[in-house]
Amino acid sequence: MPSNIRYARTAENHGFEYALTQIRFTASYGAANQHESVTFSQALLHHTERIKVIAAILPGPWNPAVAAKQIASIDNYTNGRIAVNIVSGWFKGEFTALGEWWLEHAERYRRSNEFIRCLKGIWTAGDEGFTFGGDFYRFRNYQLAPKPLQKPHPEIFQGGNSDDARNNGAEVSDWYFMNGNDLDGFRDQVEDVKARARKVGREQEVRFAVNGFVIVRDSEEEAIQVLQEIQGKADKEAVSAFHDAVQQAGASTSNKTGMWANSKFKDLVQYNDGFKTKLIGTKEQIADRILLLKSLGVNLILTAFLHYDEEIERFGKEVLPLVRQLESEGRGKVAEEEIQRTGAVYGH
């Protein structure tokens, strides 16, 4: 905990706006040793002043009444700095270990869709309270008090790549969270989710976030060497076990395009395919790639680092000011220009 508090403080002092926590109740691949995400988020918020923390919430173990109440309370303690990431679950062993029903992929996302509608309904209900009759959740004139401070409600993130995840992103979420990908993968998802959102009148309401692993070094060769070292020193057994688990999850989606459907061993050394985002190189190269992502419609980048203490600071001191400067010069607006400048790097 002390080191995570230090990272969060360093991040907010260097211009980062959000931090994400994750939820894992149990895992078969060496990642089970994690604190619970809502309490962990609250602990980080308690020790910081500006950064927003996004708490992962897993429908199944959580019910929307509990989640809405917890998050509303935290929103009050922290002056509006909590957000949620509604994850739909992909690890069967985790659900069966908890005695939870293991629903098939589309059903898990249908449950998440209801879960998100319940959160929003509970958080924003008027004097008559919240009433809902769904297949998974039911409420009758439920009146939450106190309500969250953030209006209309704390931001709701939701991730994935499948058809089901895209629909939930478009229909009910504030943010659609993407794994690392290549240029076609990013363009496809942003355009597709926007088109789905347009159909339900929400095109302006959905924003896009992407995961990326950052390695800033003085030269590109040096950065790539660090990447190869990370991949070379990976715990082969743990990554292979994760690979097997997520391939099963990806293949079980209706359109077979689950998030990890095309991930290779070396991609999965960083769970959320963060190397594919290629924020690896000199500060200038990374700034260019960030502007490319921005021009495609990406509004937020979730970063991960090898040495958090030094590298959050380096990113904040070297890359962020460069991005801001280039933005003020008009960069990051025209996708075709940005693709010409740097797009080739995402092609292979």
Ligand X SMILES: Cc1cc2nc3c(=O)[nH]c(=O)nc-3n(C[C@H](O)[C@H](O)[C@H](O)COP(=O)(O)O)c2cc1C
Nearer to ligand X, 108 or 194 (CB): 108
**Taking CB under 6 A as the rule, does residue 258 contact ligand X?**
yes
**Taking CB under 6 A as the rule, does residue 215 contact ligand X?**
no
Binding mask 11-50 for ligand X (x = CB under 6 A): -----------xxx--------------------------
What is the footprint of ligand X within residues 43-82 (CB under 6 A)? 56, 58
Q: How far apart are CA 336 and CA 19, in angstroms?
A: 30
Q: Exactly one of 72, 118, 119, 165 binds ligand X (CB under 6 A); which one?
A: 165
Nearer to ligand X, 23 or 292 (CB): 23
**Taking CB under 6 A as the rule, does residue 291 contact ligand X?**
no
Q: How far apart are CA 78 and CA 75, in angstroms?
A: 5
Q: Exactly one of 48, 78, 181, 211 binds ligand X (CB under 6 A); which one?
A: 211
Nearer to ligand X, 185 or 258 (CB): 258
Least distance CB 241 / ligand X (angstroms): 15
Task: Identify the bridge partners of residue 290 per DSSP, sorted by sequence position.
Answer: none
Task: Identify the bridge partners of residue 220 per DSSP, sorted by sequence position.
Answer: none
Q: How far apart are CA 196 and CA 203, in angstroms?
A: 8
**Taking CB under 6 A as the rule, does residue 303 contact ligand X?**
no
Name the token pair of 317: 């001191």
Q: Exactly one of 206, 239, 249, 298 binds ligand X (CB under 6 A); which one?
A: 249
Q: How far apart are CA 121 and CA 73, in angstroms?
A: 16
Q: How far apart are CA 18 and CA 212, in angstroms?
A: 14
Least distance CB 169 / ligand X (angstroms): 10
**Taking CB under 6 A as the rule, does residue 189 contact ligand X?**
no
Can the peptide bond before residue 146 be classed as cis, meaning omega within 30 degrees of 0? Answer: yes
Residue 159 three-state SS: strand
Binding mask 104-143 for ligand X (x = CB under 6 A): ----------------------------------------
Q: How far apart are CA 210 and CA 299, in angstroms?
A: 8
Would you list the DSSP string of 253-272? STTS--TTTT--HHHHTSTT
Of the candidates 144, 155, 147, the one whose C-alpha atom is nearest the C-alpha of residue 177 is 155
In one-letter notation, the amino acid at residue 221 is E
Contacts with ligand X, residue ranges (CB under 6 A): 22-24, 56, 58, 85, 87-90, 159-162, 164-165, 177, 179, 211, 249, 253, 258-259, 272, 302
